[in-house]
Amino acid sequence: MGLRRIAIASAVGAMFLVGACGQATVESVPSTELHMSRVKDYTIADLRAESTMVVRGTASTSREEEVDKVPVTFTRLRLDQHVAGLGAGAEWVEIVQLGGSAVSSPDTSPLLADGDRYLLFLKPYTARSRSAVPAFVITGDQGVFRESSGGYEFTGAPSDELPARFTADSLVAQARP
């Protein structure tokens, strides 16, 4: 019962603080969580079918913005290999993900890390972008695999359908049509 009173007192205190300040801002909150519902869990076949491009690349610099009041991170990805789909010949793309340094989500994939190598299943990002390179989103937020110890580890949004690890050759072979 004591924890419940503390939680209620915290909620009332937060409402008072917001009411006293007139408006809450993202800067006034050290971190927040974003939650979303998933329509389906993807298989490799689903990812391949719904992606316009599959690539291997290395994450580079990123920037954070708000798009329609939703925090998003734009990460530049240097393309090391075009595996399947459109976009052969491009050197760089930008990957758009929900969240940022102060906003996390247990329902989405972790943000790409600078210097890490990935195999990504991608779809075009259709909202505005300030980048001079094409922008993409990760298909179903589950089409992201980080290179690790000679293979790939699944680092996408939680899934019951995708294995935790793949060998590099196996995942690349499955990614091709």
Q: How many helices (H) and strands (E) does the chain have?
A: 3, 10
Mean model confidence pLDDT for the chain? 76
DSSP single-letter state for residue 31 = -
Q: Which residues contact 9 (CB under 8 A, 6 or more apart)?
A: none
Q: Look at residue 110 in the predicted model and tell me its pLDDT.
A: 87
pLDDT at 27 over 90: no
What is the average per-residue pLDDT within 85-101?
87
> Can you give the pTM of this predicted structure?
0.74
pLDDT at 9 over 70: no
The one-letter amino acid code at 35 reads H
User: Residue 105 — pLDDT band, cuts 50, 70, 90?
Assistant: low
Q: Look at residue 145 in the predicted model and tell me its pLDDT.
A: 93
User: Residue 94 — pLDDT band, cuts 50, 70, 90?
Assistant: very high
Q: Which residues contact 69 (CB under 8 A, 6 or more apart)?
A: none
Rg of the chain over all Cα atoms, to the nearest angstrom:
19
pLDDT at 14 over 60: no
DSSP single-letter state for residue 129 = -
Q: Is the dihedral of CA 60, 63, 67, 70 positive or negative?
A: positive
User: Of the given ranges (45-54, 126-135, 145-154), which has the lowest mean pLDDT?
Assistant: 126-135
User: Residue 3 — pLDDT band, cuts 50, 70, 90?
Assistant: very low
What is the average per-residue pLDDT within 89-100?
89
What is the average per-residue pLDDT within 20-39?
42
> What is the Cα–Cα distance from 145 to 50, expressed in whole angstroms?
16
What is the average per-residue pLDDT within 43-68?
92
Q: Which residues contact 105 (CB under 8 A, 6 or more apart)?
A: 33, 34, 35, 36, 98, 99
Distances (CA, A) of 9 to 2, 21, 24, 61, 114: 11, 18, 18, 41, 41
Q: Look at residue 146 in the predicted model and tell me its pLDDT.
A: 95
135 compared with 10, residue with greater pLDDT: 135
pLDDT at 113 over 90: yes
